[in-house]
């Protein structure tokens, strides 16, 4: 059984103005993150002729590092994901097995 690790992913998507961008991003995320226990909040807005959606993903995953998340994205993301993605921030806080303080003085 793999240990679950706290995972924080922020993604920024941008495209030219049009309807339904938040919904499209939500559907992309739903199709990609099926097996991880991540939940997300989308913040969409329009500025200077563009739609902008910032996705904040939070939860527990089996990834052990930021590199694991990037490898997953490279293998799973569809072309639209890469077309819209303009920036990201990834943090994975690996769970520790046991504790040095447990039962010791």
∠ at Cα 84 (17, 91), nearest 5°?
Answer: 130
Confidence check: pLDDT of 17 > 90: no
Mean of pLDDT values over 10-31: 94
Q: In b/e form, how buried is each residue of 27-39, taking b as 16+ CB within 10 angstroms?
A: ebbeebbeebebe
Domains in the chain with CATH codes:
5-93 (3.30.70.260)
What is the structure's pLDDT at 103? 45
Percent of the chain with pLDDT over 90: 74
CB count within 10 Å of CB 53 equals: 20
| Structure confidence at residue 74 (pLDDT) | 95
pTM for the full predicted model = 0.86
Question: 36 falls in which pLDDT band (50, 70, 90)?
Answer: confident
């Amino acid at each position: 059984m793999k240990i679950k690790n706290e995972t924080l992913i922020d993604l920024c998507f941008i495209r030219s103005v049009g309807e339904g961008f938040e919904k499209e991003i939500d559907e992309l995320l739903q199709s990609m993150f099926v097996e991880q226990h991540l939940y997300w909040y989308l913040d969409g807005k329009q500025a200077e002729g563009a739609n902008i959606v910032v996705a904040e993903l939070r939860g527990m995953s089996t990834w052990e590092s930021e590199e694991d998340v990037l490898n997953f994205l490279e293998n799973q993301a569809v072309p639209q994901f890469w077309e819209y993605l303009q920036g990201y921030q990834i943090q994975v806080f690996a769970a520790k097995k046991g504790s040095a303080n447990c039962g010791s003085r």
